[in-house]
Amino acid sequence: MRSPAYATLLALSFTATAGCRQDEPTAGKIEGPGLATETVAKRAATQRRSVGPESEPEASPPKQILFGDLHVHSTFSVDAFIYSLPVFNGEGAHPPADACDFARHCARLDFFAITDHAEGLTPHLWEETKESIRQCNDVAGDPENPDLVAFVGWEWTQAGRTPETHYGHKNVIFRSVDEAKLPKRPISSIDISTYEEQTPPTFVLDGAASATRLLGYDRYADVISFIARLSDQAPCPAGVPSPDLPADCREAAVTPAELFAKLDEWGFESLVIPHGLAWGIHAPPGARLDVQLTRAQHDESRQRLIEIWSGHGNSEEFRDVPEYVVDANGRRVCPEPTKDFLPCCWRAGELMRARCGDLPEDECERRVEEAKLYALEGGVSPDLVFPDTRGDDWLDCDQCRDCFKPAMTIRPGVTAQYGAAITSFDEVDEQGRPLRFRWGFISSTDNHSARPGTGYKQVARKVMSDVRGLADEETEGRVRGWFGPAQEEAGRAQAVEVGRMFDLFDTERKSSFLYPGGIVAVHADGRSRDAIWDALQRREVYGTSGPRMLLWFDLLNAPVGTAPMGSEVTMAETPRFRVRAVGAFRQRPGCPEEAERSLSQSRLDALCRDECDYPSDERHPIRAIEVVRIRPQATRGEAVATLIEDPWLRLECGSDPAGCQVEFDDPEFASSARDAVYYVRALQEPTPAVNGAGLRTELDGNGNAVRISQCHGGPGTDESDDCLAPVQERAWSSPVYVDQPATKKPARESS
């Protein structure tokens, strides 16, 4: 039975979804017109001049590189609405119309998708979202040559309590915006039949909203009113095909297999894009992609792409770090720290040791071991073992010290590199090969204020990233005082669930791991919706950490000729590759004249903060190309850490602003009898970046963390401090998957 405190916390989490008085909110009004045809043409011409004819000698005509963002939330999303409230010094509502104006006039993107959380989208909000996206497309000009293409979708936001039940977050995006080619309702990841026991009755919520409004707290009353509207919705009946369900019921799919089955019932073209996999505030310790590597849980036709980097950090890089150790009795035990990694469970033990005072040594050690165990059982929130602690007390526990702009609390078993290295020997893919993930790599923002493509400049940390903080220290103290007792009342078995509620408010530590977001780039045959979608489908895509770098990665001697990034090839001879990379334009301050003409000054300031994508004529140089080689498991039980070579090659580039072109081959491939996965990273010259140094950990002479300096979202860090530190911004190509002919492979190991 759930405790009253837990039920209250869960109800609060669902109240924090967009809402408004008696009527639900609208999508807002798109203010800016479409860009002039000359502006779009100039953008393409500038790209052609920058790269020269040698970039794609075989392409006729050459494809155009277009930039977009496939992961954007408005304040129709649960967490986005929470962070818009005064308790977080929020800006207020940012509905879907803001995303259209920001994408077109601030970020000057070529395409974007709105992907609000399905778990909080009522039928009204879903209709508002679709209509807003259609309006955005309506002003885009010629459909064959639009200034901006807007896609519609939702986020399926699953978080399992155990590694065996965790599948993670996925964006569902549809090719068409026509009503006849879109589902009637978004599909949630949560078993909606349990909502009634977790939320008060509708009449109680309506009464609470009225009382709150009488006290003058309209914005918070809006929240409670929206919960009441959610409570009015009945769960969809079980066993009925999705197209035959009532339009206003609340539909759920609790596993990817169920989600894919429901999408199959609709039959519409869609992409399902996993993201944020390595972020440990959602994934429990020990989470592994292996649980999804089945034909049921992985739809190869839809899961063509994976988001490896976003404004919430890095899900690319695997690190062989111990999350926990299993002893001889099958129990999880806290591992000891290494020079590269400090487990939070170990840090919990050290915090307990510092509190022992005059306790006898054996009693102190017993409590130390108990604290380690409780931290392990705390799952995503080990810090709730000591609710009175602050982020600084935990140093940099569970963090990757050498990852590029890392996600908070690395989960190595759900990184893209790990996924590329594993093989299912129990199932085969559609071509009869052992089943593997064969993703294209993209980046996006995961922005929660309707601002697609924020990474064009490293400015305004609390606006252009998802950094949020409680309004003051008194508020933070109250929140911690609330959740600490709640965790004790719930008991350790529910610590993970309470931790997830607390995480909505515990913004301080994760504020050091939030960044202006990434960009997805496509090599497209044109600017149309179909051309962009086709490039996404064939995985001829790449991601960057924000700057609009140009990148080509080709297998030169494929059996059918040159094969671009994202290709799958079977060959026996030595593969030869070519990489071409051109750095992003240096940015000028302010906004171009067209943006200033298109948006009112108040909207330009509110959305863009008077800082738009405004490229100069000078590019940043590319300093190096790194090649990553992964040789997927060929036999059952192979250690993944031995299969990932990062970097396998590093090729220096110098400082030519015209870019860098290199070629390489793999002389080991032909004799290895192993398949291989290759992708590249293009590294720009170092430049200052928001939160570039993360927690800014200080180490002693032995490599032990002694203190950190967090970049707070609240009053702990000055509003004007963007926490800049130099990094090498980068672009990641999609992999080229090179398979050996079946006759050259050893027989697969039997079970």
Looking up tokens 């970046």 gives 689
Residue 388's pLDDT is 84
Residue 194's pLDDT is 61
Instruction: Summarize the chain as % helix, strand, coil (round to 5).
Output: 30, 20, 45
Residue in 13, 35, 46, 203 with CA at minimum distance from that of residue 550 = 46
Under the banding of pLDDT at 50, 70 and 90, the label for residue 173 is very high
Residue 33's pLDDT is 97
How far is CA 148 from each of CA 116, 165, 305, rounded to the nearest angstrom? Answer: 20, 39, 21
Q: At what angle do helices 473-490 and 4-15 cross, to 10 degrees?
A: 130
- Each residue of 685-722: pLDDT tens digit? 999 999 999 999 999 998 899 999 999 998 889 888 99
Helix or strand or coil: residue 501?
helix
Rounded Cα gap, residues 277 and 408, in angstroms: 11
When pLDDT is averaged across residues 435-452 and rounded to a whole number, the result is 98
Contact assessment for residue 608 and residue 454, using Cβ atoms and an 8 Å cutoff: no
Q: Does position 724 have pLDDT exceeding 60, yes or no?
A: yes
Torsion of CA 53, 56, 61, 65, to 10 degrees: -100
How far is CA 234 from each of CA 28, 237, 242, 402, rounded to the nearest angstrom? Answer: 27, 9, 15, 48
- Per DSSP, the residues of 469-485 read --SSHHHHHHHHHHHHH
Q: Does position 378 have pLDDT exceeding 90, yes or no?
A: no
Under the banding of pLDDT at 50, 70 and 90, the label for residue 57 is very low
Rounded Cα gap, residues 739 and 625, in angstroms: 23
Residue 504's pLDDT is 58
Rounded Cα gap, residues 435 and 373, in angstroms: 36
Under the banding of pLDDT at 50, 70 and 90, the label for residue 221 is confident
Rounded Cα gap, residues 335 and 608, in angstroms: 46
Rounded Cα gap, residues 555 and 545, in angstroms: 24
Q: Tell me the pLDDT of the chain averaged across its residues.
A: 89
What are 650-656's contacts with CB under 8 Å, separation 24+?
Answer: 650/624, 650/625, 650/626, 651/579, 651/624, 651/625, 651/626, 651/627, 652/623, 652/624, 653/581, 653/621, 653/622, 653/623, 653/624, 653/625, 654/621, 654/623, 655/621, 655/623, 655/685, 656/621, 656/622
Contact assessment for residue 306 and residue 314, using Cβ atoms and an 8 Å cutoff: no
Q: 582-605 burial by CB neighbour count: b if 16+ within 10 A, else e?
A: bbbbebeeebbebbbebbeeebbe
Backbone dihedral angles phi then psi of residue 334, each to the nearest 5 degrees: -70, 130
Backbone dihedral angles phi then psi of residue 154, each to the nearest 5 degrees: -150, 165
CA quadruple 643, 649, 650, 651: dihedral positive or negative?
Answer: negative
Q: 435-454 burial by CB neighbour count: b if 16+ within 10 A, else e?
A: bbbbbbbbbbbbbbbbbbbb
pTM of the model: 0.93
Amino acid sitting at position 461: R
When pLDDT is averaged across residues 451-467 and rounded to a whole number, the result is 96
Amino acid sitting at position 122: T
How far is CA 447 from each of CA 175, 248, 516, rounded to the nearest angstrom? Answer: 21, 28, 8
Q: 328-350 burial by CB neighbour count: b if 16+ within 10 A, else e?
A: eeeebbbbebeeebbbbbbbbbb
Under the banding of pLDDT at 50, 70 and 90, the label for residue 750 is very low
CA quadruple 422, 423, 429, 434: dihedral positive or negative?
Answer: positive
In the chain, pLDDT over 70 holds for what percent of residues?
Answer: 89
What HEC string does 228-256 produce? Answer: HHHHHCCECCCCCCHHHCCCCCEEECCCH
Residue 1's pLDDT is 31
Q: How many CB atoms lie within 10 A of CB 152?
A: 25
Helix or strand or coil: residue 544?
strand
Question: Best-predicted range by mean pLDDT among 205-219, 314-328, 610-624?
Answer: 610-624
When pLDDT is averaged across residues 519-543 and rounded to a whole number, the result is 98
Cα 257 to chain center, whole Å? 21
- Each residue of 536-577: pLDDT tens digit? 999 999 999 999 999 999 999 999 999 999 999 999 999 999
Question: Best-predicted range by mean pLDDT among 199-203, 586-590, 703-707?
Answer: 586-590
Residue in 653, 279, 324, 298 with CA at minimum distance from that of residue 466 = 279
